[in-house]
Chain A
Amino acid sequence: MNIGAPKALWKGAGRVIRNWRLWCLFYFLNLLFAAVLALPFASVFAKDISRSLAGSDLLAGFNYRWYVEFIHANDANGAYFESLVPQIVVLLGVYVLMEVFLAGGFFSVFAEGGRGKVSRFFSECASKFFPILTITIGEIVLLFALYKGDAFWARANLAAAGEALTDAQVLHAELWRYGAVIAAFMIVNLFSDFAKAAVAIDDDTLAHKIWRGLAFAMRHPFASSGTYLGAAIVSAAVIALYYFVESGMHPLTAEGIVLQIAAGQIFILLRIYSKLIFYAGEAALYRENQIEVINVKREMLE
């Protein structure tokens, strides 16, 4: 029996909880990469303020004067921050590859529904890596083309027309434009997700699996987009909640600072959880509804 988006999301949420070890694994990998990225910044930061009264200002809030001079000293003069850019780009690239690697394992384990074994998870990661990488590269190329096409269109049309518009008209035009671009990005991302799910769950040639995933999303437009948007709303809600909470936190004591750091880490855990709901919800939806289709076809053949 086919399931809808709410049930897929519900099942997905449960499957993530059951596989909490994978959730933690994702979190630790994220923390590790972030720590490597933050280390050079944190070290110059600590050196600059640990014995300065600027530290007291920063404890209480923010000091724009210090910030401007700090950035200038490390960027313009020594070009220290600029020298870090290649390392940052490489690390970000490696991180994306790592997530591509993990995606196959997540889809496979979450599609099965139970608590997946770590060994099976990694074997699925390895076996699905190249197919999912292929889809990811295709997605990135498509998104880049959309981005460039939009910029070209905006230059050709909106920039010229903008001269004749009032501020409000420009703003509205821009909002529509961005809305359209974001919608296009999401559609590409949605189809890409189901192609990845098909690649991870089905057994067939790569081209057939991709086609099956795309066809699935088209055959179940409401369920697939509902699952995707539902997970997106959960993510957006998590982000909004965190910024609401964080904007009210101005700790001055050690306990308060620990609480603030803990809140930040809980937020990242929730972001990861909501990301895994994408995988799990889509995997559940694909698995349940695709099996139904296959069963019906089998019955018809018999």
Chain B
Amino acid sequence: MLSANDVAVAAARLDDAERTRKQTGLISLSHPSATMDDAYAIQAAWAKIKLAKGRKVVGWKIGLTSKAMQSALNISTPDSGVLFDDMVFADGAQIPLTRFIQPRVEAEIAFVMKAPLKGPNVTAREVLAATSYVVPALEILDTRILRVDPATKTARTIVDTISDNAANAGLVLGEQKWKVSDVDLRWVGAIVSCNGEVEETGLGAGVLNDPALGIAWLANRLARYGEAISAGQVVLSGSFIRPIETSLGALIEADFGPFGAVSCRF
């Protein structure tokens, strides 16, 4: 377990890195004994810094929801991060690249909740009952921590990813709102293009077999810290494509077929 001071220092490093757009070193290297609980403590400490500056929590993101992403980090659970009000962009927005360090984009289904969800033992069915509507969404990922330590060539671990707010940096919500009873979430597909060329595709079922399961997992994880998903919050349920690298001028278009579409330009 890390000391309260270690946690506070790590959170301050992340906040500095985001503001100055200069990545900080691997927390998993400076604190080799750090656990996943420590990482969530760092994430929470960083969130507190942001709240103190006037940010508001608007919801949650769930990451590492596909088998492929979990295998890449050698773990078997998803992770989660906090969404803040200044991360929200409108559909079609021009997003300043200068706000981020190494932004990447993922496509997913966003759930907007109408009732609170408090674990433990939340099921996918309860998630659907508590959902106001679902919309197509893009998530912008960024990394405030170096992907690889230059000296030792050690790669980031799950501790770094979770501390770094599960890599969350932004979200773009589509305009089409769907009642969960009107759509088969498992078969919602996305064709995601960068500058008109298809880069990635995927299906809702790629997210733990059912996007609602990820949200049940989140509610149950939050319960361990006495927290819950609140009514009105947005939850990004996990990407069903691999992240797409962006660069200046990149037009990202996600075609969700009959479910809708969402786009942004950097």
Partners in one complex: no
- Please report B residues at the A interface, Cβ cutoff 8 Å: none
